[in-house]
């Protein structure tokens, strides 16, 4: 299996980045990542004020996936997330939803032991490892790793954890895949502007789906499928995620838009990924059993009609 060190990283998803490694479809790769502060906060004495803010949200990569072209999708199976034993929590003035009530920049480091984040003497929080930044290069203008979009990026989607499968639309030859910004745990919304920010290793399997019809990322877990969309406002993000789901679901199950609207209104959930990044991210979550009743699966949604 190929390994990618955290020393190969990018701060933006761009077709101009040179790949650091080449993969064939179906290969597995172990990807080491720094935390979202490039591991600059090591103790409670390390201050966010003194940190180099140009070095935030590094993503390890980019990986060139041989044979992938614009119009394909990258199927990324997240097989394992191994976390280091210490995480950083951060918030501050004008950061996050409560930033109007906080002075300066605040951070603290917390230990992770026995699968729990030790928040204080009274509270330990079970870890639920997830990937904050994961994506491919967009066509044209580069997008910094702190911003989510159709290419993936900083989606901060709690569904993207161990066992999940992420489908990303490919925009440029080789896809130029990268990931970083692991969280030991994060609540939907990420209201304080950080999760439990942690370095670690991610084992992924990468496959190409030829001629996919995706405009935006899709995540699959053991029991649900979600369209994921990012936009200036949450309202717009929700609209995009719902439209994306309808566009792929209706032809797959042979329904008209009005019938699908009635169906989705009963069984699918609008959920928030994050409300704190330059673009906001929402998801529209369809339980898998609904699709199964029609004898369909995820590939019927991902493949172009
Ligand atoms: Ca993030
Ligand atoms: Zn993060």
DSSP assignment of 63-87 equals EEETT--TT-EEEEEEEEEEE-SEE
Alpha helices in the chain (DSSP H): 234-253, 257-267, 288-293, 298-302
Tell me, what's the pLDDT at 44?
84
Give SS3 for 244. Answer: helix
Tell me, what's the pLDDT at 105?
94
C-alpha 6 to ligand 2 mean position (Å): 16
Tell me, what's the pLDDT at 66?
98
Q: 2-66+79-140+174-205: which CATH topology? A: Jelly Rolls (2.60.120)
C-alpha 290 to ligand 1 mean position (Å): 31
Residue 98 and residue 193 in contact, taking contact as beta carbons nearer than 8 Å: no
C-alpha 89 to ligand 2 mean position (Å): 9
Residue 1 CB-density burial (10 A; 0-12 exposed, 13-18 middle, 19+ buried): exposed
Listed by start position, the domains of the chain span 2-66+79-140+174-205
Give the whole-angstrom CA distance, residue 292 versus residue 265. 18
C-alpha 13 to ligand 2 mean position (Å): 16
Residue 166 pairs in a beta bridge with: 76, 219
Q: How many CB atoms lie within 10 A of CB 251?
A: 15
Ligand nearest to the CA of 181: 2
Give the whole-angstrom CA distance, residue 58 versus residue 125. 26
Mean pLDDT by 10 residues, the chain (305 residues): 96 98 98 97 88 95 98 98 97 95 95 98 98 98 98 98 98 98 98 98 98 95 98 98 98 97 98 97 98 96 87
C-alpha 134 to ligand 2 mean position (Å): 11
Tell me, what's the pLDDT at 167?
98
**Single pTM value for the model:** 0.97
Tell me, what's the pLDDT at 128?
98
pLDDT in tens, 63-98: 999 999 999 999 999 999 999 999 999 999 999 999
């Amino acid at each position: 299996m190929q390994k990618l060190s955290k020393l190969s990283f990018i701060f933006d998803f761009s077709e101009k980045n040179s790949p650091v490694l080449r993969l064939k479809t179906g290969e597995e790769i172990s990807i080491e990542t720094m935390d979202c502060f490039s591991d600059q906060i090591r103790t409670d004495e390390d201050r966010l004020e003194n940190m180099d803010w140009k070095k935030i949200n590094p993503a390890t990569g980019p990986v060139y996936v041989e044979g992938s072209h614009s119009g394909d999708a990258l199927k990324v199976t997240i097989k394992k997330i191994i976390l280091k034993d210490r995480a950083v929590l951060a918030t501050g003035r004008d950061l996050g939803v409560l930033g109007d009530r906080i002075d300066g920049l605040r951070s603290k480091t917390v230990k992770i032991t026995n699968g729990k984040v030790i928040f204080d003497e009274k509270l330990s929080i079970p870890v639920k490892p997830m990937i904050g930044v994961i994506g491919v290069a967009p066509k044209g203008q580069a997008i910094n790793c702190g911003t989510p979009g159709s290419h993936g990026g900083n989606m901060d989607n709690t569904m993207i954890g161990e066992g999940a499968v992420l489908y990303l639309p490919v925009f440029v030859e080789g896809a130029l895949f990268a990931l970083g910004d692991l969280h030991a745990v994060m609540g939907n919304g990420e209201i304080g502007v950080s999760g439990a920010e942690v370095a670690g290793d991610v084992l992924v399997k990468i496959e190409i789906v030829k001629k996919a019809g995706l405009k935006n990322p899709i995540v699959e877990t053991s029991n649900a499928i979600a369209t994921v969309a990012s936009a200036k406002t949450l309202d717009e993000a929700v609209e995009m995620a719902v439209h994306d789901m309808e566009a792929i679901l209706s032809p797959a199950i042979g329904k008209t838009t009005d019938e699908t609207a009635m169906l989705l209104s009963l069984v699918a959930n609008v959920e928030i990924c994050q409300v704190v990044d330059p673009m906001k991210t929402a998801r529209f979550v369809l339980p898998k059993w609904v699709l199964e009743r029609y004898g369909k699966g995820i590939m019927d949604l991902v493949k172009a009609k």
